[in-house]
Copies of this chain bind each other. A is one copy, B any other.
Amino acid sequence: MRVSLKDVAARAGVSIKTVSNVVNNYQHVTPAMRERVQQAIDELGYRPNLTARHLRQGRTGIIALALPELGNPYFAELAAAVIDAAALHDYIVLLDHTGGRREQEVLVSQGFRARVIDGLILSPIELEAEDLRERTENVPLVLLGERHYDLPYDHIAVDNVAAARTAVRHLIDLGRREVAFIGARRGHSQPAHLRLQGWREELLSAGLSVDDGLIATTEGWGHADGAAAMTRILETGRRPDAVFAYNDPIAIGAMRVLSERGMRVPEDVAVVGFDDVVEGHFGTVTLTSVSPDKEAIARMAVESVLARLSGKAPEPRRVWADYRLIARESTLGRSTQAGRST
Contacts and interface: CB of A to CB of B under 8 A. Distances in A.
Interface of A: 2, 45, 47-52, 54-55, 60-62, 69-71, 73, 76-77, 79-80, 83, 87, 92-97, 111, 113-116, 136-138, 222-224, 227, 249, 252-253, 255-256, 259-260, 278-279, 281-285, 339-340
Contact of A70 (B61, B79, B279): B79
A267 to B, nearest CB: 14
Contacts of A87: 113
Copies of this chain present: 2
Given A79-B70, A95-B79, A95-B95, A256 B282 contact: yes
A80 B73 contact: no
A38 to B, nearest CB: 15
Contacts of A114: 92
Most buried by B among A60, A93, A136, A283: A283
Contact of A77 (B54, B71, B282): B71
A141 to B, nearest CB: 14
Nearest to A80: B70
Contact of A94 (B62, B115, B279): B62
Contacts of A136: 45, 47
A207 to B, nearest CB: 34
A2 B49 CA distance: 23
Lowest 4 CB-CB distances: which A-B pairs, in order? Answer: A76-B76, A284-B284, A223-B282, A95-B95
B284 A285 contact: yes
A70 B77 contact: yes
A94 to B, nearest CB: 5
A222 B278 contact: yes
Given A83-B95, A259-B284, 15 more contacts: A47-B136, A49-B55, A52-B55, A61-B116, A62-B94, A70-B79, A70-B80, A76-B76, A79-B95, A222-B278, A223-B279, A224-B340, A227-B282, A249-B278, A283-B283
A63 to B, nearest CB: 11
A71 B76 contact: yes
Contact of A96 (B50, B61, B92, B138): B92
A28 to B, nearest CB: 26
A284 B283 contact: yes
Contacts of A79: 70, 76, 95
Contacts of A223: 278-279, 281-282
Contacts of A252: 279, 282-283
A51 B60 contact: yes
27 contacts: A45-B136, A50-B116, A51-B51, A51-B55, A51-B60, A52-B55, A62-B94, A69-B80, A70-B70, A70-B77, A71-B76, A71-B80, A83-B97, A87-B113, A93-B95, A222-B278, A223-B278, A223-B281, A224-B281, A224-B340, A227-B282, A252-B282, A255-B284, A256-B283, A256-B340, A283-B284, A284-B285
Contacts of A115: 47-48, 50
